[in-house]
Amino acid sequence: MGVRHASTSVPTAAARARSLLTTAWSCAVTTEIGRDELVGAHSVTPEGILLLSPPPDSALATAMICAPRGEPSTLVEFADVAPVPVRDRIRARLWLSGSLVPDGEGFIFAPTCAVLHDSTGGRIGIDLDELALAAPDPLAEAESRLLTHLADAHEEAVEQLTKLVCADSLHGVVRVRPLAIDRYALTLRLEKARSQADVRLAFDEPVEDVTQVTERMHMLLTKARHLRRPLLRPTPPDA
């Protein structure tokens, strides 16, 4: 798919995984005993160490008691869910396999394998040392607020930004929504009647903190307004 301003810089798989660990509110944990859907039961230290605090009646807590050495083989799954409602809302999944070590009232997760999966890169194995050293994207914790504000309060700006996308890519598009934002680019979801595609609109320079987002977005919009292209106004399929 052609994009007028395609980003040559994208977050590494390790950085994406680190951002997901930081922002996810829930995770699924599977052991030999069973599977738990845990909400608000994990945290990540500044050093990237994953801590789990399951409820006493969970399968995970039982597995810790039944494991021969108290370190059951464990699979932890995180889902990266788009904050703005779109078709196929899961943007990526992160799987971590390893073991758990008791630590006070909770457990430290010691990973032996990490895999990130999304629709663009497929399944990517992540080096554990790289994951431990990776920092979350500077926009990770603000992303939900930034995208919902853009979608709800600046629909006309999203329409303007479609002028940065090659016209052929917009054929048959019925809705455009902001899907993701990171330090390098804003990603738009182009929805058609039976399919969708994502395009990245690169910032001129990477964002160092959330205070720079307004300036970068203004620069994208300025480029869009200077292009002599008709403005896309998506039409519902039944219109």
For the stretch 130-189, pLDDT in tens is: 999 999 999 999 999 999 999 999 999 999 999 999 888 888 999 999 999 999 999 999
Most confident among 5-14, 21-30, 64-73, 115-124 (mean pLDDT)? 21-30
Q: What is the pLDDT of residue 71?
A: 67
Mapping DSSP to helix (H, G, I), strand (E, B) and coil, where does residue 68 land? Answer: coil
Dihedral pair phi/psi, residue 65, rounded to 5°: -75, -40
Instruction: Give residue-wise pLDDT tens across range 89-108.
Output: 999 999 999 998 888 888 99
Q: How confident is the model at residue 4 (pLDDT cuts 50, 70, 90)?
A: very low
Residue 217: pLDDT band with limits 50, 70, 90: very high
Residue 194, judged by CB atoms within 10 A of its CB (0-12, 13-18, 19+), counts as: exposed
pTM of the model: 0.89
Residue 224 in this model has a pLDDT that exceeds 70: yes
34 φ, ψ to 5°? Answer: 165, -165
Q: Is 104 buried (19+), middle (13-18) or exposed (0-12) by CB count in 10 A?
A: exposed
DSSP-assigned beta bridge partners for residue 71: none
Q: Are 90 and 77 in contact (CB under 8 A)?
A: no
pLDDT, residue 66, reads 81
Q: What is the pLDDT of residues 115-127, one digit of tens each?
A: 999 877 789 999 9
What's the chain's Rg over C-alpha atoms? Answer: 20
**CA 71 to chain CA centroid, nearest Å:** 30
Average pLDDT over residues 200-221: 97
- pLDDT beyond 70 at 48: yes
